[in-house]
Amino acid sequence: MSHSIGDIAAAIGAEAVGNTALQVDGAAEPAEARSTDIAIAITAGFLASLDQGNARAALVPAGTDWQGLGLEAAIIAPRGRLAMSGLTRLLDPGPDLPDTCHDTAVIEAGALISDTVGVGAFSYIGAGARIGPGTRIGHHVSVAAGVEIGADCHIHDGVRIGRGCRIGAGSVLHPNVVIGADGFSFVTEAPARVEAARDALGQLDLPDEAPEQDWRKIHSLGGVEIGADVEIGAGSTIDAGTIRATRIGQGTKIDNLVQVGHNVIVGRNCLLCAQSGVAGSARIGDRTVLGGKAGVADNVTIGADVVLGGGSVALSNVPAGRIMLGYPAMRIESHIESYRALRRLPRILDRLRNEQKPVPKRAESD
Amino acid sequence: MSHSIGDIAAAIGAEAVGNTALQVDGAAEPAEARSTDIAIAITAGFLASLDQGNARAALVPAGTDWQGLGLEAAIIAPRGRLAMSGLTRLLDPGPDLPDTCHDTAVIEAGALISDTVGVGAFSYIGAGARIGPGTRIGHHVSVAAGVEIGADCHIHDGVRIGRGCRIGAGSVLHPNVVIGADGFSFVTEAPARVEAARDALGQLDLPDEAPEQDWRKIHSLGGVEIGADVEIGAGSTIDAGTIRATRIGQGTKIDNLVQVGHNVIVGRNCLLCAQSGVAGSARIGDRTVLGGKAGVADNVTIGADVVLGGGSVALSNVPAGRIMLGYPAMRIESHIESYRALRRLPRILDRLRNEQKPVPKRAESD
Amino acid sequence: MSHSIGDIAAAIGAEAVGNTALQVDGAAEPAEARSTDIAIAITAGFLASLDQGNARAALVPAGTDWQGLGLEAAIIAPRGRLAMSGLTRLLDPGPDLPDTCHDTAVIEAGALISDTVGVGAFSYIGAGARIGPGTRIGHHVSVAAGVEIGADCHIHDGVRIGRGCRIGAGSVLHPNVVIGADGFSFVTEAPARVEAARDALGQLDLPDEAPEQDWRKIHSLGGVEIGADVEIGAGSTIDAGTIRATRIGQGTKIDNLVQVGHNVIVGRNCLLCAQSGVAGSARIGDRTVLGGKAGVADNVTIGADVVLGGGSVALSNVPAGRIMLGYPAMRIESHIESYRALRRLPRILDRLRNEQKPVPKRAESD
């Protein structure tokens, strides 16, 4: 489908300049752009590569000399990624999910499924599940008995939704997401060595060998409640709570291969980047961002508006608004200072050692 | 289903006090408890929130003034999480897994499946697989030809069990677990740069560019052997061994998104928390605990009763009984000392620099 | 099937010695070897355990006194793991994947599937997908409309391949791999706190609270292009690009539970070990190795022939040929030096403190 530059600009709420009637049928990076693509050139680097491709129009930052770059038309994007959101939404053909029920799908008696729900091949919908209008479910999905899924959700292939789970309207679950598996919660009859280790933080003189004993399971009865407009990436897992639901707040976005443990409460509009993990019973405030591979220890409370950097691990509570880095995570200013000091440290220690060698002589001469 | 406080206490082996005939039909956190819930108040924080809910009975620590808190009955739990194990087991309606064979399931000729086995919709059981009595298999599961699964296992939706694997009795595999995929084992014809890097640990002056060469696969012929009463969390992966099985010992519990590489041997009653990983050919002793996101390098031996803290990475052998933290992991005492020193370091270095500035003058004055 | 020692040696291009007509029907570690196994004894440790088993023949390093070890025959492997590759390939019965189309598979109209393609039970192949000759697809696989898969690929159970993806010939996708899910790319209308945090790296005095605002999605239109002879481990996820494809170069091997974000370009013959992650728009040069749990931040460029050690995180660009360790990753030499210094630091700081105590007195005496 083709669009004029003017129409695209209007659709994304941006300003079009030049030959706004120019038609494009796709978007591309500047160096790979055909003459019928709009080039996405929202950074200086991309602007510089416009001449390697054939674009006649581009999405450019405010203040760009688009004519000087040989373009016939441009869309001015004062906030490039925001314009990208509008542009890619316009060009997206929509989710690759069925809008009718496939013959092979199994829908158990008593499931309440609106006429406008799509269910893909080989999917299984348990008894009494309720699925809101407009929701589209892919292939090989399993939805347990009694699960509630709101309107206009996208549930991609291979997703598993366990007993006692509720998914808010407009949410997106990417392939192979698992919602509502049992929490990882075990206890030994007598205190286990690992408990003593946690209590002691190394102060205690633990015996080197512990008696053999079994782990007894604390069962997960609480399910998972996912708010509206939540997105959860491929392969991520959100465990069921013990006696109340694990909760993900409205508007929160979760990337791929993220783990959210039992009883966790994640606030609204958070970002949990790929491979981050939140251990059992931790709480994450609104708008908080966990970078890729970041970790939050169990029972820890992270305030609102916190940024925990990629690869960092919060082992204790973090007040609202903090930017944290490292292992264990500390304020970013302290981390940068300590890291710089650490890099200088070997040379400084060498110098100290050299200075100390003559010290005895000077002591003698005193 | 409803239970009296007295019956619950008896079932979990704890003491009931007050109106032990009081009936409850669920469990809840104190602030969310209805009048027919038993409140779970096993910590001081939870005890303090009892007055926010409507519980008439609660599970409380030894020594609690339960009458002073307005309760009509209580169960005394000297070890709260142990009591939670008993209580949640009592209230658990049982696994959400089929107890009969669904019409759509494909069971190949020669598979030996007891009458008491359940197999869910769209599951595939390969030729010659043997599945013990009482085992319940979910939807969309695939079990390769010849696999052996013991009695009373729970194999959840989307689990994949590859050729040459054996699963011990009473084990639980959560959704989308993959057992017995190929190990990650490749070799180049001539030594690859990464091998030289490992050998040299940076001492060698490696050329910046390496010749192009392909990775040849070392095939995985050894399968996986999982002991009895093992639990493996959603999305976790246990790779096949090369010429003998990768082994997980009896009673070991593995959380979500955990990776266990080829040839690894994990002992009995270990805990491997979420997103931890054990690289190829490593060995983990009995009762050892890997915290969330912890890593163990390939070919490393970790003794029994080790605790490797969350986010820590063991790059070399660890003797039995050690508590380890950090990257690379060191004894917890050393880690805490070093971490404190690191935080003080920037100020100390600044002070040293200030003290050194006058040194030249003093040298002149000497 | 049984092979003579001479035939095995010929097949793997190695030298056989002793009774080369001796027949074996399997391979084993020395301590577990039956008399009809060839023992794999390519290290000193394994050689030492030969007498615990019953092997009459072994694969041994060059220079081994195989007769002195009581063997009747041996294959001499100057490069043991390379010989292992040949030997395990010879003994591998081939992939456990169907070579015909199962009755239950759904293949939509217009899918072009060669006669020699196998498709397993309950798999779904979308309209217009093209699948090359010799490719074998497992059970419960879903392939979106229009996807292209080359010849001789192995697509294991539960794999999901999304719209706009191409898989090169000879590639192997292990169970539950997800190719082409949406990238994790969101933007707020006004700049979000996390953007300010990144720009400022902690220098800026950010307000502790941020205004509530929604995350808008940047849609993923670009798909994924996977080169020939790529292998991707169980549960790994490769996200679709925004306006061009995310790309994995020919010959690259990816382990289990690895995340590759949108727009990433990975070069040829790389190794990405288990649980490593590459954030959006990063680039990885040819033959680069990411150790287990290693991470690469978004928009970072890693040169060719880099080794990023296990558990290390590259937060900024890395020139070609570097060996890097730590968080943030630094050259291995610096990391080892700093790590050693860090371990000595507490003692040194204590000494400094003791030395400084008399300083005031000396100042007085000056």
The DSSP result for C178-220, as a single string, is: EEEEPP--EE-SSPPHHHHHHHHTT-S---S-----PPEEPP-
Q: How far is C151 from chain B (nearest CA, A)?
A: 19
- Burial (Cβ within 10 Å: 0-12, 13-18, ≥19) of residue C24: buried
pLDDT surpassing 90 at residue B212: no
**pLDDT at position B201:** 53
C321 and C282 in a common domain: yes
Residues of C in contact with A11 (CB under 8 A): none
pLDDT surpassing 50 at residue A362: no
The mean pLDDT of A104-118, rounded to a whole number, is 94
Number of structural domains (chain B) is: 2
Q: What is the DSSP letter of C56?
A: S
Tokens 């209308």 locate to C189
pLDDT surpassing 90 at residue A344: no
**pLDDT at position C365:** 38
Chain C residue at shortest CA distance from B337: C346
Distance from C-alpha of C274 to C-alpha of C256, rounded to nearest angstrom: 5
B138 and B73 in a common domain: no
| pLDDT category of residue A210 using cuts at 50, 70 and 90 | confident
Asked whether A66 and A18 are in contact (CB, 8 A), the reply is yes
Residues of A in contact with C293 (CB under 8 A): 293
Instruction: Report the DSSP beta bridge partners of residue A75.
Output: A16, A59
| pLDDT category of residue B347 using cuts at 50, 70 and 90 | confident
**pLDDT at position A194:** 76
**pLDDT at position C207:** 58
C236 and C114 in a common domain: yes
Q: Is residue B313 part of a domain?
A: yes
Q: Is residue B245 part of a domain?
A: yes
Q: Which chains touch A (3 or more CB pairs under 8 A)?
A: B, C
Query: Is B358's Cβ below 8 Å from some Cβ in C?
Result: no
Distance from C-alpha of A95 to C-alpha of A92, rounded to nearest angstrom: 8
Say whether B156 and A160 touch across the interface (CB within 8 A): yes
Please report the number of interchain residue pairs, chain A to chain C, with beta-carbon separation below 8 angstroms.
Answer: 215
Residues of A in contact with C160 (CB under 8 A): 156-158, 175-176, 234
Amino acid letter, B92: D
Q: What is the DSSP letter of A191?
A: P
Distance from C-alpha of A291 to C-alpha of C291, rounded to nearest angstrom: 19
Say whether B81 and A218 touch across the interface (CB within 8 A): yes
Amino acid letter, C56: R
Neighbour tally for C322: CB within 10 Å: 21
B72 and B118 in a common domain: no
Please report the number of interchain residue pairs, chain B to chain C, with beta-carbon separation below 8 angstroms.
Answer: 213
**pLDDT at position C355:** 66
Query: Is A235's Cβ below 8 Å from some Cβ in B?
Result: yes
B87 and B113 in a common domain: no
Interface test with A, best of C103, C178, C339 (most A CBs within 10 A): C178
pLDDT tens by residue, B85-95: 999 999 999 99
Task: Tell me, rounded to whole angstroms, the distance of Cα C56 from its chain centroid.
Answer: 36
**pLDDT at position B178:** 98
Low-confidence winner among A115-129, A189-203, C112-126 (lowest mean pLDDT): A189-203
DSSP, collapsed to helix, strand or coil, labels residue B85 as: helix
Closest CA to B159 of B220, B112, B226: B226
Q: Which chains touch B (3 or more CB pairs under 8 A)?
A: A, C
Asked whether C27 and C42 are in contact (CB, 8 A), the reply is no
Query: Is B136's Cβ below 8 Å from some Cβ in A?
Result: no
Q: Is residue C225 part of a domain?
A: yes
pLDDT surpassing 70 at residue C356: no
Query: Is C304's Cβ below 8 Å from some Cβ in A?
Result: no
pLDDT surpassing 60 at residue C203: no
pLDDT tens by residue, B257-266: 999 999 999 9
**pLDDT at position C177:** 98
Say whether B274 and A259 touch across the interface (CB within 8 A): yes
Say whether C215 and A157 touch across the interface (CB within 8 A): no
For A238-277, give one letter per residue: b (16+ CB within 10 A) or e: bbbbbbbbbbbbbbbbbbbbbbbbbbbbbbbbbbbbbbbb
The mean pLDDT of A334-342, rounded to a whole number, is 85
Distance from C-alpha of B178 to C-alpha of B161, rounded to nearest angstrom: 6
**pLDDT at position A94:** 93
**pLDDT at position C357:** 54
Higher pLDDT, C364 or A330: A330
Reported pTM: 0.94
Say whether A156 and C160 touch across the interface (CB within 8 A): yes
Q: How far is B340 from chain C (nearest CA, A)?
A: 8
pLDDT surpassing 50 at residue B366: no
Instruction: Report the DSSP beta bridge partners of residue B119.
Output: B101, B137
Closest CA to A312 of A320, C184, A302: A302
Query: Is C316's Cβ below 8 Å from some Cβ in A?
Result: no
Percentage above 70 pLDDT, chain C? 93
Say whether A273 and C279 touch across the interface (CB within 8 A): yes
| pLDDT category of residue B207 using cuts at 50, 70 and 90 | low
The mean pLDDT of B26-35, rounded to a whole number, is 96
* CATH code of the domain covering residue C34: 3.40.1390.10
| Domain of residue B261, residue span | 106-325
Tokens linked to A253 = 């976005």
Query: Is A336's Cβ below 8 Å from some Cβ in C?
Result: yes
Q: How far is A298 from chain B (nearest CA, A)?
A: 9
Q: How far is B210 from chain A (nearest CA, A)?
A: 29
Count how many Cα atoms sit within 13 Å of the Cα of residue B9 in the half-sphere of its side chain: 23
pLDDT surpassing 70 at residue C230: yes
* CATH code of the domain covering residue C228: 2.160.10.10
| pLDDT category of residue C194 using cuts at 50, 70 and 90 | confident
Of B91, B116, B135, the position where a domain reaches its end is B91
pLDDT surpassing 50 at residue C285: yes
Helix (H) / strand (E) element for C86: namely helix C80-91
What sign results for the dihedral spanned by CA atoms C62, C66, C68, C69?
positive
**pLDDT at position B341:** 82
Helix (H) / strand (E) element for C4: namely strand C3-4
The mean pLDDT of A305-331, rounded to a whole number, is 95
Q: Is residue A188 part of a domain?
A: yes
Interface test with C, best of A154, A287, A308, A327 (most C CBs within 10 A): A287
| pLDDT category of residue C8 using cuts at 50, 70 and 90 | very high
pLDDT surpassing 70 at residue B102: yes
B122 and B83 in a common domain: no
Give how far Cα B304 sits from Cα of A209, B250, B327, Å: 7, 14, 20
Q: Is residue B115 part of a domain?
A: yes
pLDDT surpassing 90 at residue C362: no
pLDDT surpassing 80 at residue A318: yes
B170 and B55 in a common domain: no
pLDDT surpassing 50 at residue C366: no
pLDDT tens by residue, B44-87: 999 999 999 999 999 999 999 999 999 999 999 989 999 999 99
Residues of B in contact with C342 (CB under 8 A): 338, 341-342
pLDDT tens by residue, C234-281: 999 999 999 999 999 999 999 999 999 999 999 999 999 999 999 999
Instruction: Report the DSSP beta bridge partners of residue C24.
Output: C3
Asked whether C192 and C209 are in contact (CB, 8 A), the reply is no
B151 and B71 in a common domain: no
Give the pairing type, strands C216-217 and C186-187. antiparallel
**pLDDT at position C200:** 57
Q: Is residue B49 part of a domain?
A: yes
Q: Is residue B321 part of a domain?
A: yes
The mean pLDDT of C155-170, rounded to a whole number, is 98
DSSP characters over C311-330: T-EE-S-B-TT-EEETTTTE
Interface test with B, best of A119, A147, A156, A194 (most B CBs within 10 A): A194
pLDDT surpassing 60 at residue B149: yes
pLDDT surpassing 80 at residue A197: no
A83 and A128 in a common domain: no
Please name the member of A221, A259, A338 whose beta carbon is closest to the beta carbon of B257.
A259
A120 and A86 in a common domain: no
Neighbour tally for B226: CB within 10 Å: 29
Of A46, A68, A91, the position where a domain reaches its end is A91
Tokens linked to B309 = 């803290």
Of B63, B91, B119, the position where a domain reaches its end is B91
pLDDT tens by residue, B175-205: 999 999 999 999 998 888 777 776 655 444 5
Put simply, the chain B residues between 167 and 186 with a CB less than 8 A from any chain C CB are 176, 178, 181-182, 184-186
Say whether C257 and B242 touch across the interface (CB within 8 A): no
**pLDDT at position B360:** 44
Distance from C-alpha of A179 to C-alpha of A117, rounded to nearest angstrom: 20
Query: Is A227's Cβ below 8 Å from some Cβ in C?
Result: no
Query: Is B255's Cβ below 8 Å from some Cβ in A?
Result: yes
Say whether A323 and C202 touch across the interface (CB within 8 A): yes
pLDDT surpassing 80 at residue A63: yes
Q: Is residue A101 part of a domain?
A: no
Asked whether B297 and B316 are in contact (CB, 8 A), the reply is yes
Residues of C in contact with B187 (CB under 8 A): 79, 81-82, 84-85
Closest CA to A255 of A238, A268, A241, A239: A238
| pLDDT category of residue A206 using cuts at 50, 70 and 90 | low
C119 and C86 in a common domain: no
A82 and A201 in a common domain: no
The rounded mean pLDDT for chain B is 92
